[in-house]
Structure 1
Amino acid sequence: MKVIIVGGVAGGASAAARLRRLDEKCEITMYERGEFISFANCGLPYHIGGAIEEREALLVQTPENMTARFNFAVKTFHEVVSIDAKNKKVSVKNWKSGNTFEDNYDYLVLSPGAAPIKPPIPGIDGENIFMLRTIPDMDKIVAAMKKGAKSAIVVGGGFIGVEVAENLIEKGFAVSLVEMQDQVLTFLDPDMAAFAHNEMKSHKIKLYLSDRVTEFKKTAGGKVSVTLASGKAIEADMAVLAIGVMPEVKLAKEAGLKIGETGAIAVSEAMLTSDPSIYAVGDAVEVTHFVTKTKIKIPLAGPANRQARIAVNNICGIKSEYKDTQGTSIVKVFDLACGATGASVPLLKRANIAFKTLTLHAGSHAGYYPYAYMVHLKLIYSPETGKVLGAQACGYDGVDKRIDVIASAIRHGATVHDLQDYELAYAPPFGSAK
């Protein structure tokens, strides 16, 4: 059996490693158009801020290490440019030599990922305007910092935008953040996102919400000038675009694979595309939301890794299914943690699902033990059945474990009445006896 894997990082690298563990004889080739096959892209902002000091710590696997450890071919700077699904062949371009060649497969695993959104804003390709998606992107930002940049405009208030803003503040930058929506971190409901707003403002980040960039310009002094739709103007030494990502579907579309309603690759629960020999995983695919049963895109590392293992299990004859996604996620906003699982209020409204909410404000552990902080927890549930539909939490301690417990409850169909019967770990430094 011969398997070709298109793309590395979370999905592709996990697929290749899992495949070798299940089949010692399988011929495996991974093609990656960039230099790095497996890197911690979630850690990029933290190297910029200095929390991760060594750049090499982000390189999870090198081609040499992967080849030596797993005994398969790793081809960097090689891009699969077309797929002949009928004859089970791919055309591959070697970007170093410029040559193009064909390779055949029994099964193909697509993990092309997603590309940063770059809208057609005048001046967006100007000097000192960066994106952050890859190691080279990060290197450019670090180089600008070493040249003396001390202020930045971050465009976009999602995970990456908020993390970049925080880490630039940690390096002594003056930071402005522009977000088109009326809140940052739209996986949270507005009332919960307000805690993140307060934390960011307390660390001197200037928030420009419900506004958007209409033009980038270079000033006479070499700075980046941004004009907003509101008429406001901001200047800084550099700008970082974190507007979001779009699934890379060009290759799949040209191969005749079905594209789903969200614009991502349609796959079955086995991660199989519309072609019986082609699987797809990661940021480029659409999946079903566990609560609403609607199709969504979920560009997160955890689901990508799990999808890769499921796809490979099925290739090797081990029946496995990706049983929908809950979108469980968490983000650090300076000392504050913001986490969520299941469906948010806006998502439930769009799906016409009835719900009620309950918000609690309780200590992270026993109040008489030092350093007990308030945790703000919002529970979303069905008024008819009591089934837990979602949860969000913000606080300085204990957010992750609360979200993880409720994520498990949602997965197993628990109700709000079931939650009171859960027996959780308690000692004064860790929780409350009530």
Structure 2
Amino acid sequence: MGKRFIIIGGDAAGMSAATQIRRLKPDAEILAFEKGSTLSYAQCGLPYYIAGVVPEAKDLVARTPEQFREKYGIQVFIRHEVIKIDADERRVTVRALDEGSEEKFSYDTLLIATGGHAIFPNWEGRELNGVFPLKDIEDSYRIKKWLQAEMVEKVVIIGGGYIGLEMAEAFHLLKKEVTVLDLAPQLAGTFDPEMALLAKEELERNGIKVALEEEVTSFRGERGRVIGVETKRGFYPADLVLVAIGILPNSELAKEAGIELGIKGAIRVNERMETSMPGIYAAGDCATQYHRIKEQEDYIPLGTTANKQGRVAGTNMGGGEARFAGVVGSAIMKVLDMAMGRTGLSEKEAKGLGIPYEIVSIRSRDHAHYYPHAERLHLKLLYHRENRKLLGAQVVGRHGVDKRIDVLATALYHGMTIDQLQELDLSYAPPFNSVWDPVQQASTVARKI
């Protein structure tokens, strides 16, 4: 038997690493411990499962424990929580949650892929039935069960970020009366205000209420179930409340083991995904990421990043050589009939970093204006005032957002200037584009500036 590798966490990063180790180390002993009941599933698909767009929860599961065992020879333990890491002795203590028993396992190399947890403030009444976070598949089961068993007419969502807005659509599709509350003066906080306003208008156009600068103080209940949300300015009736105000890394285990933490308490890793402790790696929502534009560590927990970091960690753990190239902050979300994409820096981030920048904003069309059903496309680009390098981009519209934001993310990755966007050889036919892509149209405007 070869070396023993232990993986803490059985979702994107953990199981990506485990399968990569197996490819490189056919004789390795690989143990994966997951405290939940499901492995390797698509967390980003949970809103669509709740909405009924994805019919079954099993559709979100990439591989079952049996498949990992039979195809990859990975020993998988579900409902097993690692409660302690002893870095000096190179062993972990594992609790079997169903039996309550504990056992110690030694390791040669360890990966911490414990993910993150939903922020759930200690508001009065948070224990009431009908109040939910949404971070894992078990949360989605509880929400679905409540929707099926109770008379739910009014839903209040606290938080207007990615999950909050996607769930606003989910509940809207389920014919619920939806209200979105946010402490900030805008929705979609990673976007600039004028772009975020388009999301608010899309919600309200579809009958979803939005209340900004609302500070939640408590939940009101009757007979053990929620009946509404109290804020400093009012009361919002609700049969179901979703708290979606962000996530934080599950890094307590690493901290207790003496491993160095970074921004927002995430486990600090280098480009090989190594922690400050020899023989211990970290990846996914519990770990930091290097931001290529900010040129510093950041914490932007996304499924794409978790999979990449897991693969890099697994390659290095298995004796290969891999580097995590970093992120540029690319993300996209669907808000009813509209898409919102962003990459790089927002104005707020550029100001915070003291970067001198210029802006170009245009309204264009997703394809040739004379071809039927051309839709409005809003683009905003940030570029460096002195060297004219692209710094960030935001695109909002009904069609073609994903195409443009990915082109801009690629341009950011390669350090292109805003003027070089005009040189790109982009595809064109009237049903798909204009002769000059909207990205290049914005570049032309920037040249005139």
Identify which of 169, 181, 189 aligns with 1:166.
169
1:289 to 2:291 alignment: yes
Identify which of 204, 210, 214 aligns with 1:211.
214
Distance 2:225 2:323 in 1: 53
After superposing the two structures, state which structure 1 stretch, 31-40 or 308-317, moved more: 308-317
Counterpart contact for 1:373–1:395, Cα < 8 Å = yes
1:268 to 2:270 alignment: yes
Code of the residue aligned with 2:182 in structure 1: it is: E
Q: 1:65: Cα distance to partner?
A: 1.5
User: Cα deviations across residues 106-155 of structure 1 (Å, max 9, x unaligned)?
Assistant: 11010000111111111111111111112221111111211231220011
Residue 137 of structure 2 corresponds to 135
Identify which of 309, 312, 323 aligns with 1:310.
312
Q: 1:58: Cα distance to partner?
A: 1.4
Residue 227 of structure 2 corresponds to 224
Q: CA RMSD in A?
A: 1.2
Distance 1:165 1:5 in 2: 35
Distance 1:19 1:319 in 2: 12
Q: How does 1:165-204 map to 2 (within 5 A)?
A: 165-204=168-207
Q: 1:319: Cα distance to partner?
A: 2.1
Residue 42 of structure 1 corresponds to 44
Code of the residue aligned with 1:27 in structure 2: it is: E
Code of the residue aligned with 1:391 in structure 2: it is: A
Distance 1:36 1:252 in 2: 23
Counterpart contact for 1:292–1:353, Cα < 8 Å = no
Distance 1:396 1:347 in 2: 26
Counterpart contact for 1:219–1:225, Cα < 8 Å = no
Residue 347 of structure 2 corresponds to 345
User: Cα deviations across residues 164-202 of structure 1 (Å, max 9, x unaligned)?
Assistant: 111100110000111111111111111110111110111
Q: 1:22: Cα distance to partner?
A: 2.1
Residue 57 of structure 1 corresponds to 59
Work out the number of aligned pairs and report it.
433
Distance 1:12 1:39 in 2: 12
Q: 1:215: Cα distance to partner?
A: 1.1
Identify which of 312, 325, 328 aligns with 2:327.
325
Residue 108 of structure 1 corresponds to 110
Identify which of 325, 336, 339 aligns with 2:338.
336
Identify which of 378, 385, 389 aligns with 2:387.
385
Code of the residue aligned with 2:147 in structure 1: it is: M
Distance 1:84 1:259 in 2: 17
Q: 1:43: Cα distance to partner?
A: 0.6
Distance 2:143 2:152 in 1: 9
Please state whether the residue corresponding to 1:198 is helix, strand or coil.
Answer: helix
Please state whether the residue corresponding to 1:381 is helix, strand or coil.
Answer: strand
Q: 1:220: Cα distance to partner?
A: 7.0
Residue 90 of structure 1 corresponds to 92
Residue 6 of structure 2 corresponds to 4
**Where in structure 1 are there 5+ consecutive unaligned residues?**
none
Residue 419 of structure 1 corresponds to 421
Q: 1:223: Cα distance to partner?
A: 4.8
Code of the residue aligned with 1:368 in structure 2: it is: Y
1:119 to 2:121 alignment: yes
Residue 254 of structure 1 corresponds to 256
Counterpart contact for 1:355–1:382, Cα < 8 Å = yes
Distance 1:337 1:429 in 2: 19
Counterpart contact for 2:34–2:80, Cα < 8 Å = yes
Counterpart contact for 2:17–2:310, Cα < 8 Å = yes
Identify which of 66, 70, 73 aligns with 2:72.
70
Distance 2:135 2:406 in 1: 27
Aligned residues with identical type, % of pairs: 38
Q: How does 1:363-402 map to 2 (within 5 A)?
A: 363-402=365-404
Code of the residue aligned with 1:294 in structure 2: it is: Q
Q: 1:221: Cα distance to partner?
A: 11
User: Cα deviations across residues 310-342 of structure 1 (Å, max 9, x unaligned)?
Assistant: 111112232221122111000000010000011
Counterpart contact for 2:24–2:320, Cα < 8 Å = no
Counterpart contact for 1:262–1:295, Cα < 8 Å = no
Distance 1:269 1:221, change over 3 A: closer
Counterpart contact for 2:263–2:299, Cα < 8 Å = no
Identify which of 147, 155, 170 aligns with 2:158.
155
Code of the residue aligned with 1:180 in structure 2: it is: L
Code of the residue aligned with 1:283 in structure 2: it is: D
Distance 2:429 2:330 in 1: 26
Code of the residue aligned with 1:241 in structure 2: it is: V
Distance 2:306 2:261 in 1: 18
After superposing the two structures, state which structure 1 stretch, 162-171 or 308-317, moved more: 308-317
Distance 1:127 1:29 in 2: 37
Please state whether the residue corresponding to 2:265 is helix, strand or coil.
Answer: coil
Distance 2:46 2:263 in 1: 31
Distance 1:285 1:223, change over 3 A: closer
1:245 to 2:247 alignment: yes
Counterpart contact for 1:386–1:415, Cα < 8 Å = yes
User: Cα deviations across residues 11-40 of structure 1 (Å, max 9, x unaligned)?
Assistant: 111111121122211110000011011111
Counterpart contact for 1:425–1:431, Cα < 8 Å = yes
